[in-house]
Structure 1
């Protein structure tokens, strides 16, 4: 069985080499193109029209799916924009609070009073460290949300281009 397979592969390789290196390959290629052209020219016009109608009909479900994907991506991008705005506001607020605490600490006082409570400089420093850690996390979350939004926006743009191409093809076929 293996000998037959190797023999067949060898014969096909030699035949391909001979056909590609001789005018016989060119004759064979030209003959194939002529046969394909004559078959295409012999197809009745009604059949070609029916084929075009079928192609238009086949595009409609794909166009609807593409519109659904676009709507879904638009909603996702809008939601991400809302989350980004909220995260940015939160990060700005955290940054302002950190700056205020940093400013208070740099004043050199040992005791601080916030919202009716008294805190030592060590407690304020500890709170500042915790707030800065939370701020870094919030900032990383904001970056991640922006990257997700950008990826969704690219998907949305690609889906819109695909829809435009399909609708253009549909108009050409009609």
Structure 2
């Protein structure tokens, strides 16, 4: 490890001496070229599969957004219900305070409550003072909760917009990936067709030549066979010829009798010539 570190340090020092301040730009350029070269070596189908995997990883994020939005909707509904109860309580408090004030404004000395008890005007004023303080606090709390509700509703609307945008972008990206997949398949078909053309110029051409040679040999043998007699060891009989009705033996006797007669005549002629010559 020490030798490697020392070696790398030495190379960096030598490179620094050779290139000076240009070392960093040169190194960056070399790194960029190496990165592009490696990227070009990666198959397109592999890159498309990686993009599909990345797109699938977006799914859980969208599902989590759906879950958070659903929870926020439930919380907002609970807050709205709480605000409604607070408003009802404030309205009731206001009505009760206005009733007590009406008693004070009337000038009566005692106020008979719903429990049939009588309260002095001084006690009623103290009650009004206490109720007013509580009412102011409840009103401030209601206003604060209303602002919180408004902020949470705005955040919810923004989250829903982002969710809709994420879904739309996911659909668009899925369509783009399908388009790239189809385009890559078409390119593969074109490459395969090109390879088939090359194969046709080599393998198919040789196969075609072999078939032509075989066909030529068969035609040659057929021509040679047509030049030979069609029957061996049999008496050829023509379909159009007629066979004579005379007996072949009689024909032989006539033929050879004629030959013998010709020979006898030749012998007689030669004997007469010899006698004439002696005389």
User: What interval of TM-score do these two structures reach, taking the shorter chain for normalisation?
Assistant: 0.7 to 0.9
Instruction: Give the 3-state SS of the residue equivalent to 1:169 in structure 2.
Output: helix
**Maintained 8 Å contact 1:66/1:163:** yes
Structure 1 unaligned segments of length 5 or more: list them. Answer: 1-31
User: 2:158 matched to 1:170?
Assistant: no
Structure 1 runs (4+) greater than 2 angstroms displaced: 32-45
- Taking only aligned residues, the RMSD between alpha carbons, in angstroms, comes to 2.9
TM-score by structure 2 length? 0.49
Equivalent in the alignment of 1:137: 137
Larger Rg: 2
Instruction: Give the 3-state SS of the residue equivalent to 2:112 in structure 1.
Output: strand
Deviations 1:65-108 (A, max 9, x none): 10010000000000000000000000000011111111211111
Equivalent in the alignment of 2:47: 48
Higher relative contact order (CA 8 A, sep 6+): 1
Once the two structures are TM-superposed, the CA of residue 162 in structure 1 deviates from its matched residue by: 2.0
Equivalent in the alignment of 1:4: none
Tell me how many residue pairs correspond in the alignment.
158
**How far apart in 1 are the matches of 2:40 and 2:168?**
26
Please, which moves more after superposition, 38-47 or 145-154? 38-47
1:1-174 to 2 correspondences below 5 Å: 44-115=43-114, 116-174=116-174
**How far apart in 2 are the matches of 1:89 and 1:41?**
70
**How far apart in 2 are the matches of 1:53 and 1:38?**
23
Once the two structures are TM-superposed, the CA of residue 63 in structure 1 deviates from its matched residue by: 0.7
Deviations 1:29-53 (A, max 9, x none): xxx9999888777754313311220
Please, which moves more after superposition, 77-86 or 44-53? 44-53
